[in-house]
Amino acid sequence: MSTGRRLRAGLVGLGSMGRHHARVLSALEGVDLVAVVDPLGDKHGAAQGVPVLDTVEDLLGLGIDYAVVACPTALHEEVGLQLAGAGVCALVEKPLADTVAGARRLVDAFEARSLVAGVGHIERCNPALRSLRARLEADELGDVFQVVTRRQGPFPHRVADVGVVKDLATHDIDLTSWVAGREYVSVAAHTVSKSGREHEDMVSAVGRLDDGTMVNHLVNWLSPLKERFTSVTGERGCFIADTLTADLTFHSNSAVATEWEALRAFRGVAEGDMIRYAIPKREPLLVEHELFRDAVLGVPADICTLRQGLRTVQVAAAVLASAAGNRSVSLTPEGLTSHDS
């Protein structure tokens, strides 16, 4: 990236994720971090030496090209609308908003002003998933049958305002749709709350994409085992991505002749070769920031758009509605839901 123009960026929120954004922004090529906003101040010394302001209005007064919104989810809509109203581009942490209606208002506000805006679904920048998506696009797997994700681990004390569906499952919803290049058309889910909080801390969901691909998600904050697992099974085998280590492996189907009568009678697949790919492992957050910077500069970049972020919020809402009503929920292309008993 070399356009000769330096961008002025701001950051809203110095929480757990905001501190990482501050670190990356302060060293991002072609970008000057101007200031950060957090009414609680810089308790962890993460502001990288730039001013810490009390309000978004103070930040806008300094003149910025774009801002990263990393405040609590419930404040995304309010802050995003302020930025859009001022003509400022925005990268909003996931999920886009706390509600479907709020997410839609953000989409409308930024689109009405033709502003570049994106959602920080960082798994799209994980090396293993980027490689997996490219291989699916190259038809290395053939027809895709199923996408399975598992995302579990101990409760993250950084989260106070949402449950596991909006905080964690939105990762899996977005990455599944992005990797497969397909939209959800139905979901059915169950949730439980075991940690004494008002929000759910475990969800098990099944769903279907618009080409018939089956999806399965298991997400929780109740396991001492931290796991980030994605598998995509298709006609030629199975890709497995570990997004904690950014490793991608492929287990191929095999047609091996056998004299064992019981196996010859089975017309399924057989275990073949296993390949572990060598992938350059760049930091996903840095890749996310580079892509968004390029998009603001008018360079084609594969960012998660607000409309895609809205769709993820819609699917998450369908997951919660399914669990609350003990029913399957269908999603239309327009994002409206109908309930099937």
Per residue in 98-150, pLDDT (tens digit) is: 999 999 999 999 999 999 999 999 999 999 999 999 999 999 999 999 999 99
Tell me whether residue 42 is in a domain. yes
Considering the domain architecture, whether residues 17 and 32 belong to the same structural domain is answered as yes
Cis peptide before 39 (omega within 30 of 0): no
The token pair that represents 103 in the structure block: 């997410």
Considering the domain architecture, whether residues 230 and 297 belong to the same structural domain is answered as no
- Indicate the pLDDT class of residue 3, thresholds 50, 70 and 90: low
The token pair that represents 60 in the structure block: 């806008």
Tell me whether residue 174 is in a domain. yes
Q: Is 232's pLDDT higher than 70?
A: yes
Q: What share of the chain is helix, strand, coil (3-state, %, to 5)?
A: 35, 30, 40
Q: What is the mean pLDDT of residues 7-12?
A: 98
Q: Which tens digits make up the pLDDT trace of 40-79?
A: 999 999 999 999 999 999 999 999 999 999 999 999 999 9
Tell me whether residue 324 is in a domain. yes
Tell me whether residue 190 is in a domain. yes
**Whole-model pTM over 0.75:** yes
Tell me whether residue 292 is in a domain. yes
Q: Which tens digits make up the pLDDT trace of 175-231?
A: 999 999 999 999 999 999 988 788 899 999 999 999 999 999 999 999 999 999 999
CATH code of residue 171: 3.30.360.10
> Does residue 105 contact residue 219 with C-beta atoms inside 8 Å?
no
Total domains present in the chain: 2
CA angle 7, 12, 14 (to 5 degrees): 115
* pLDDT, averaged across the chain: 92
Tell me whether residue 65 is in a domain. yes
CA 30, 298, 303, 316 torsion-angle sign: positive
What are the strands of the beta sheet with 66-69, ordered from one edge?
Answer: 52-53, 31-37, 7-12, 66-69, 89-93, 117-120
Distance CA 332, CA 330 (A): 7
Boundaries of domain holding 219? 126-281+314-331
| Percent share of the chain, pLDDT over 90 | 84
